Amino acid sequence: MRGIVERMRSAVVRLKEWGGVALDLAYPRVCAGCGSPDPAAGRFLCWDCLSRVEFIQPPFCELCGDPVGGRIGHAYHCALCSGRRVYFDRARSAARYDGPIGRMIRDFKYNGHLWLVEDLADFLVAAVRSHFEETSFDAVVGVPLHWTKLRARGFNQSEWLAAALARRLRLPIARRCVRRIRADPTQTHLTAEKRAANVLGAFATQWNRWIDGRRFLLVDDVMTTGATVNECSRALKMGGAASVYVVTVARG
Ligand SMILES: [Zn+2]
Ligand SMILES: [Zn+2]
Protein backbone atom coordinates (compact mmCIF):
# COMPACT_ATOMS: atom_id res chain seq x y z
CA MET A 1 0.00 0.00 0.00
CA ARG A 2 1.32 3.39 -0.90
CA GLY A 3 1.52 5.22 2.40
CA ILE A 4 -0.04 8.55 3.17
CA VAL A 5 3.44 10.03 3.68
CA GLU A 6 4.47 9.10 0.15
CA ARG A 7 1.25 10.51 -1.26
CA MET A 8 1.63 13.74 0.67
CA ARG A 9 5.29 14.15 -0.23
CA SER A 10 4.71 13.56 -3.93
CA ALA A 11 1.71 15.91 -3.87
CA VAL A 12 3.89 18.62 -2.32
CA VAL A 13 6.65 18.00 -4.87
CA ARG A 14 4.24 18.25 -7.80
CA LEU A 15 2.79 21.50 -6.47
CA LYS A 16 6.23 22.96 -5.88
CA GLU A 17 7.54 22.07 -9.33
CA TRP A 18 4.81 24.16 -10.85
CA GLY A 19 5.24 27.12 -8.57
CA GLY A 20 9.02 27.05 -8.74
CA VAL A 21 9.19 27.62 -12.48
CA ALA A 22 7.30 30.89 -12.32
CA LEU A 23 9.26 32.16 -9.33
CA ASP A 24 12.66 31.36 -10.85
CA LEU A 25 11.92 33.93 -13.49
CA ALA A 26 11.02 36.48 -10.85
CA TYR A 27 13.98 36.41 -8.44
CA PRO A 28 16.71 34.15 -7.03
CA ARG A 29 15.63 31.98 -4.16
CA VAL A 30 17.17 30.40 -1.09
CA CYS A 31 15.82 27.53 0.98
CA ALA A 32 13.64 28.67 3.88
CA GLY A 33 14.65 25.61 5.87
CA CYS A 34 18.46 25.76 5.69
CA GLY A 35 19.38 28.83 3.68
CA SER A 36 20.93 26.78 0.86
CA PRO A 37 20.99 28.73 -2.41
CA ASP A 38 19.29 26.00 -4.42
CA PRO A 39 15.80 25.22 -3.17
CA ALA A 40 15.28 22.80 -6.04
CA ALA A 41 12.29 21.03 -4.46
CA GLY A 42 10.20 24.06 -5.25
CA ARG A 43 9.86 27.69 -4.39
CA PHE A 44 11.65 28.05 -1.08
CA LEU A 45 12.49 24.55 0.13
CA CYS A 46 15.39 22.29 -0.87
CA TRP A 47 15.15 18.53 -1.37
CA ASP A 48 17.09 17.90 1.77
CA CYS A 49 14.72 19.95 3.91
CA LEU A 50 11.67 18.44 2.23
CA SER A 51 13.02 14.97 3.02
CA ARG A 52 13.33 16.01 6.68
CA VAL A 53 9.67 17.08 6.91
CA GLU A 54 7.82 14.63 9.13
CA PHE A 55 4.43 14.16 7.52
CA ILE A 56 1.76 13.04 9.93
CA GLN A 57 0.42 9.61 9.25
CA PRO A 58 -1.95 7.20 11.00
CA PRO A 59 -2.56 6.01 13.58
CA PHE A 60 -3.90 9.19 15.08
CA CYS A 61 -6.90 10.42 17.06
CA GLU A 62 -9.92 10.15 14.79
CA LEU A 63 -11.11 13.59 15.93
CA CYS A 64 -8.12 15.87 16.41
CA GLY A 65 -5.56 13.93 14.35
CA ASP A 66 -2.99 13.78 17.14
CA PRO A 67 -0.59 11.00 16.18
CA VAL A 68 -0.14 8.04 18.48
CA GLY A 69 2.63 5.43 18.46
CA GLY A 70 2.13 1.74 17.71
CA ARG A 71 -0.64 0.03 15.81
CA ILE A 72 -4.30 0.74 16.43
CA GLY A 73 -6.98 -1.05 14.47
CA HIS A 74 -10.09 0.55 15.94
CA ALA A 75 -11.34 4.15 15.89
CA TYR A 76 -9.26 5.88 18.53
CA HIS A 77 -10.00 9.07 20.47
CA CYS A 78 -7.10 10.63 22.39
CA ALA A 79 -7.36 11.38 26.11
CA LEU A 80 -7.84 15.08 25.38
CA CYS A 81 -10.75 14.54 22.99
CA SER A 82 -12.34 11.95 25.27
CA GLY A 83 -12.45 14.53 28.02
CA ARG A 84 -13.81 17.50 26.08
CA ARG A 85 -16.64 18.42 23.82
CA VAL A 86 -15.25 18.48 20.29
CA TYR A 87 -17.01 20.90 17.96
CA PHE A 88 -15.04 20.33 14.77
CA ASP A 89 -15.85 17.23 12.74
CA ARG A 90 -12.20 16.33 12.10
CA ALA A 91 -8.87 18.10 12.43
CA ARG A 92 -5.74 17.11 10.52
CA SER A 93 -2.27 18.58 10.15
CA ALA A 94 0.20 18.04 7.33
CA ALA A 95 3.43 17.70 9.30
CA ARG A 96 5.16 17.95 12.65
CA TYR A 97 6.18 21.43 13.74
CA ASP A 98 9.84 20.52 14.26
CA GLY A 99 12.52 21.09 11.67
CA PRO A 100 12.12 23.01 8.41
CA ILE A 101 8.34 23.39 8.74
CA GLY A 102 8.61 25.11 12.12
CA ARG A 103 11.28 27.43 10.78
CA MET A 104 9.15 28.33 7.76
CA ILE A 105 6.12 29.03 9.93
CA ARG A 106 8.09 31.23 12.34
CA ASP A 107 9.65 33.20 9.48
CA PHE A 108 6.24 33.59 7.87
CA LYS A 109 4.41 34.58 11.02
CA TYR A 110 6.90 36.58 13.06
CA ASN A 111 9.41 37.83 10.48
CA GLY A 112 6.88 38.68 7.79
CA HIS A 113 8.31 36.34 5.11
CA LEU A 114 5.01 36.44 3.30
CA TRP A 115 6.47 34.89 0.15
CA LEU A 116 6.43 31.55 1.99
CA VAL A 117 2.63 31.44 1.84
CA GLU A 118 2.45 29.28 -1.29
CA ASP A 119 4.98 26.78 0.06
CA LEU A 120 2.98 26.48 3.26
CA ALA A 121 -0.22 26.22 1.23
CA ASP A 122 1.32 23.25 -0.63
CA PHE A 123 1.30 21.37 2.67
CA LEU A 124 -2.31 22.38 3.36
CA VAL A 125 -3.41 21.23 -0.09
CA ALA A 126 -1.59 17.90 0.39
CA ALA A 127 -3.24 17.43 3.81
CA VAL A 128 -6.73 18.21 2.49
CA ARG A 129 -6.26 15.83 -0.45
CA SER A 130 -4.89 13.06 1.73
CA HIS A 131 -7.11 13.34 4.78
CA PHE A 132 -10.35 14.89 3.52
CA GLU A 133 -10.47 13.21 0.15
CA GLU A 134 -14.17 12.37 0.32
CA THR A 135 -15.33 15.56 2.01
CA SER A 136 -16.90 18.56 0.29
CA PHE A 137 -16.70 22.14 1.47
CA ASP A 138 -18.60 25.32 0.73
CA ALA A 139 -16.06 27.81 2.03
CA VAL A 140 -12.61 28.20 3.55
CA VAL A 141 -12.16 30.31 6.66
CA GLY A 142 -9.01 31.33 8.55
CA VAL A 143 -8.88 31.52 12.35
CA PRO A 144 -9.37 35.24 13.03
CA LEU A 145 -7.03 37.39 15.09
CA HIS A 146 -8.22 40.02 17.52
CA TRP A 147 -7.85 43.48 16.01
CA THR A 148 -5.21 44.51 18.55
CA LYS A 149 -3.03 41.56 17.55
CA LEU A 150 -3.75 42.15 13.90
CA ARG A 151 -2.59 45.72 14.26
CA ALA A 152 0.59 44.66 16.03
CA ARG A 153 1.49 41.91 13.53
CA GLY A 154 0.21 43.70 10.46
CA PHE A 155 -1.40 40.63 8.93
CA ASN A 156 -3.27 37.49 9.92
CA GLN A 157 -1.16 34.47 8.97
CA SER A 158 -4.15 32.11 9.13
CA GLU A 159 -6.18 34.25 6.77
CA TRP A 160 -3.28 34.42 4.32
CA LEU A 161 -3.02 30.63 4.41
CA ALA A 162 -6.81 30.27 4.10
CA ALA A 163 -6.86 32.59 1.08
CA ALA A 164 -4.05 30.68 -0.65
CA LEU A 165 -5.75 27.35 0.09
CA ALA A 166 -9.15 28.63 -1.09
CA ARG A 167 -7.62 29.76 -4.37
CA ARG A 168 -5.94 26.42 -4.90
CA LEU A 169 -9.09 24.42 -4.06
CA ARG A 170 -11.23 26.86 -6.05
CA LEU A 171 -13.46 27.52 -3.07
CA PRO A 172 -14.76 30.84 -1.76
CA ILE A 173 -13.07 32.33 1.26
CA ALA A 174 -15.38 33.42 4.08
CA ARG A 175 -13.96 36.61 5.53
CA ARG A 176 -15.28 38.20 8.69
CA CYS A 177 -18.12 35.72 9.22
CA VAL A 178 -16.33 34.79 12.42
CA ARG A 179 -14.54 37.38 14.53
CA ARG A 180 -12.28 37.21 17.53
CA ILE A 181 -13.97 39.35 20.12
CA ARG A 182 -11.44 38.98 22.89
CA ALA A 183 -7.69 39.49 22.93
CA ASP A 184 -6.32 36.54 24.84
CA PRO A 185 -2.86 36.16 26.27
CA THR A 186 -0.62 33.87 24.29
CA GLN A 187 -1.29 30.14 24.68
CA THR A 188 2.27 28.93 24.33
CA HIS A 189 3.05 28.01 27.93
CA LEU A 190 -0.40 26.93 29.08
CA THR A 191 -1.64 23.43 29.85
CA ALA A 192 -4.40 21.91 27.71
CA GLU A 193 -7.02 22.76 30.33
CA LYS A 194 -5.89 26.35 30.66
CA ARG A 195 -5.73 26.77 26.89
CA ALA A 196 -9.38 25.74 26.62
CA ALA A 197 -10.42 28.14 29.39
CA ASN A 198 -8.29 30.88 27.85
CA VAL A 199 -10.18 30.89 24.53
CA LEU A 200 -13.67 30.19 25.88
CA GLY A 201 -16.08 32.63 24.24
CA ALA A 202 -13.28 34.28 22.24
CA PHE A 203 -15.12 34.06 18.91
CA ALA A 204 -18.41 35.34 17.62
CA THR A 205 -20.09 34.97 14.26
CA GLN A 206 -21.95 37.41 12.11
CA TRP A 207 -24.01 36.92 8.96
CA ASN A 208 -25.43 33.69 10.43
CA ARG A 209 -27.92 33.38 7.61
CA TRP A 210 -24.95 32.91 5.32
CA ILE A 211 -23.22 30.50 7.69
CA ASP A 212 -26.38 28.44 8.15
CA GLY A 213 -26.07 24.96 6.64
CA ARG A 214 -22.64 25.58 5.11
CA ARG A 215 -19.66 23.22 5.29
CA PHE A 216 -16.48 24.96 6.38
CA LEU A 217 -12.80 24.22 6.08
CA LEU A 218 -11.13 26.07 8.96
CA VAL A 219 -7.44 26.90 8.52
CA ASP A 220 -4.68 27.68 11.00
CA ASP A 221 -0.90 27.57 10.85
CA VAL A 222 -0.23 25.39 13.89
CA MET A 223 -2.42 23.28 16.12
CA THR A 224 -1.27 22.12 19.53
CA THR A 225 -4.12 20.97 21.76
CA GLY A 226 -6.72 22.28 19.31
CA ALA A 227 -8.33 24.57 21.94
CA THR A 228 -8.41 27.55 19.58
CA VAL A 229 -9.80 25.74 16.55
CA ASN A 230 -12.30 23.94 18.77
CA GLU A 231 -13.60 27.21 20.17
CA CYS A 232 -13.73 28.75 16.71
CA SER A 233 -15.59 25.65 15.47
CA ARG A 234 -18.02 26.02 18.36
CA ALA A 235 -18.84 29.57 17.25
CA LEU A 236 -19.35 28.43 13.65
CA LYS A 237 -21.58 25.52 14.72
CA MET A 238 -23.60 27.84 16.98
CA GLY A 239 -23.93 30.10 13.98
CA GLY A 240 -25.49 27.21 12.07
CA ALA A 241 -22.54 25.64 10.22
CA ALA A 242 -23.36 22.13 8.99
CA SER A 243 -19.77 20.96 9.40
CA VAL A 244 -16.36 22.32 10.32
CA TYR A 245 -13.20 20.48 9.24
CA VAL A 246 -9.90 21.84 10.45
CA VAL A 247 -6.61 21.75 8.57
CA THR A 248 -3.29 23.13 9.80
CA VAL A 249 0.18 23.12 8.32
CA ALA A 250 1.79 21.80 11.47
CA ARG A 251 1.11 19.98 14.66
CA GLY A 252 2.92 21.36 17.67
ZN1 LIG B 1 17.00 23.41 2.84
ZN1 LIG C 1 -7.89 13.93 19.88
- Going from the Cα of 164 to the center of ligand 1, the distance in angstroms, rounded, reads 23
Angstrom distance (rounded) from CA 249 to CA 50: 14
Domain count, the chain: 1
Structure confidence at residue 69 (pLDDT): 83
pTM of the model: 0.90
- Going from the Cα of 36 to the center of ligand 1, the distance in angstroms, rounded, reads 6
Question: What is the C-alpha end-to-end distance of the chain, expressed in Å?
Answer: 28
Structure confidence at residue 249 (pLDDT): 98
- Going from the Cα of 91 to the center of ligand 2, the distance in angstroms, rounded, reads 9
Ligand nearest to the CA of 251: 2
Structure confidence at residue 1 (pLDDT): 44
- Going from the Cα of 57 to the center of ligand 1, the distance in angstroms, rounded, reads 23
Structure confidence at residue 210 (pLDDT): 93
Ligand nearest to the CA of 192: 2
Ligand nearest to the CA of 47: 1
Structure confidence at residue 198 (pLDDT): 85
- Going from the Cα of 33 to the center of ligand 1, the distance in angstroms, rounded, reads 4
Q: What CATH number does the domain containing 166 carry? A: 3.40.50
Ligand nearest to the CA of 224: 2
Low-confidence ranges of the chain (pLDDT < 50): 1
CA nearest 122: which of 23, 230, 229, 240? 23
Structure confidence at residue 127 (pLDDT): 97
Ligand nearest to the CA of 78: 2
Range of the domain at 178: 4-251
* Phi–psi pair at 39, nearest 5 degrees: -75, 65
- Going from the Cα of 67 to the center of ligand 2, the distance in angstroms, rounded, reads 9
**For 226-235, what is each residue's pLDDT tens digit?**
999 999 999 9
